[in-house]
Amino acid sequence: MSQLQLRGLIPAFPTPLTADGEIDDRGLERIVEYQIAGGVSGLVPLGGTGEATALTHAQRVKALEVTVAVAAGRVPVIAGVLDAGFGGACDSARAYEKAGADGLMVIPPFYTRTDQSGLLRYFRALRKEVSVPFVLYDNPYRTHTVIAPETIACMAEEGLAVGMKASNTDLYHLDHVSKLVPDGFAILSGQDTLFVQQVILGASGGVLTSAALIPGYWANVQSLAEQGRVAEALGAQGLLNPLMDALFAEEFPTAVRAAFERIGLSTGTALPPVGALSEAALGRVHAAVDALLDSGVLKEVPKH
């Protein structure tokens, strides 16, 4: 497998859509350029924030192709493989490798309930289908499966994954993982609200939704945490609580689209079953974004 540098902020971001629900090429180009200009270390299209499971296979491939073309090798592109089972995951993995993904962020199967041995069988079989590196997507909230730290360590030792996105709020679990995995296995925070805590426990960066809006701010938070300036890091993270509370309110990721719209990057509307925000929730998004604009943390994007 090729090397994949997994450090710093590697945001998941919304998939811009036209009024009829198709991929908005120009909107996608603008949001990718915005993130790269903001200093991201990589990009994660087709994650949950990108509503990958609501897009058709052809739409997902197109979104990835546009992202890869705009990134043009400046940062790695890690495509989310969020299929429920093996056949779909194989199709996606092969198509995404062909489309130019530098790596794949793979979620465990979530329709067929399995045990730890089954998880290893799944990743061993999928690993044979493509050559690009895998980042394990540990998200028990979505999969209803807890991956044991020992299983993650086994995946790392066998080369089934070069890193993981830890979207698990159990910090005790993450502490065990960090002690068991070999050197070189990258742990990436998957929890915006626990980023500092996960960095303290060994995360080398994060796949954060809010980092798509303010990657530079989050990079500074990571730097503070790694320097041992924990109180400052937690304080800086806490200043984003209104934004994070607003982004994850109601049906995700509608609020994320609203936040991008507020700074001048239109991404369209979410796909069914996700609906519109209530007026109260939309007001909270606008208030949080406006406060960051007023403080200079965020800047409006000029219209082209």
**Whether residue 71 has pLDDT greater than 50:** yes
- Please state which of the ranges 41-45, 68-72, 141-145 shows the lowest mean pLDDT: 141-145
- Please state which of the ranges 1-5, 24-28, 208-212 shows the lowest mean pLDDT: 1-5
Q: How many residues does the chain have?
A: 304
pLDDT of res. 303: 80
**Whether residue 2 has pLDDT greater than 60:** no
Residue pointed to by tokens 């546009």 = 66
Overall average pLDDT of the 165-177 stretch: 97
Tens digit of pLDDT for each residue in 47-66?
999 999 999 999 999 999 99
Catalytic residue among 34, 96, 122, 137: 137
**Whether residue 3 has pLDDT greater than 90:** no
Task: Give yes or no: 179 in active site.
Answer: no
Residue pointed to by tokens 């296979």 = 57
Tell me: is residue 267 an annotated ligand-binding position. Answer: no
pLDDT of res. 1: 43
Q: Kindly state the percentage of the chain with pLDDT values over 70.
A: 99
Residue pointed to by tokens 């493989």 = 81
Domain ranges of the chain: 8-223
Structure tokens at 290: 């406006």
Catalytic residue among 34, 62, 96, 165: 165
Tell me: is residue 53 an annotated ligand-binding position. Answer: no
Tens digit of pLDDT for each residue in 180-239?
999 999 999 999 999 999 999 999 999 999 999 999 999 999 999 999 999 999 999 999
pLDDT grade for 304, boundaries at 50, 70 and 90? low
Q: What are phi and psi of 43, to 5 degrees?
A: -135, 140
**Whether residue 72 has pLDDT greater than 80:** yes
Rounded to whole angstroms, the Cα distance separating 3 from 25 reads 29
DSSP string for the chain = -------EE--B----B-TTSSB-HHHHHHHHHHHHHTT-S-BBTTSTTTTGGGS-HHHHHHHHHHHHHHHTTSS-BEEEE--SSHHHHHHHHHHHHHTT-SEEEEPPP-SS---HHHHHHHHHHHHTT--S-EEEEE-HHHH--PPPHHHHHHHHHHTS-SEEEE----HHHHHHHHHHSPTTPEEEE--GGGHHHHHHTT--EE--SGGGT-HHHHHHHHHHHHTT-HHHHHHHHHTTHHHHHHHTSSSTTHHHHHHHHHHT-----PPTT--PPPHHHHHHHHHHHHHHHHHTSS-PPPP-
pLDDT grade for 146, boundaries at 50, 70 and 90? very high
**Whether residue 39 has pLDDT greater than 90:** yes
CATH code of the domain made up of 8-223: 3.20.20.70
Other C-beta atoms closer than 10 Å to the C-beta of 180 total 17
Mean pLDDT of the residues in the chain: 97
Structure tokens at 128: 């044979």
Rounded to whole angstroms, the Cα distance separating 276 from 89 reads 30
Tens digit of pLDDT for each residue in 119-135?
999 999 999 999 999 99
Task: Give yes or no: 137 in active site.
Answer: yes
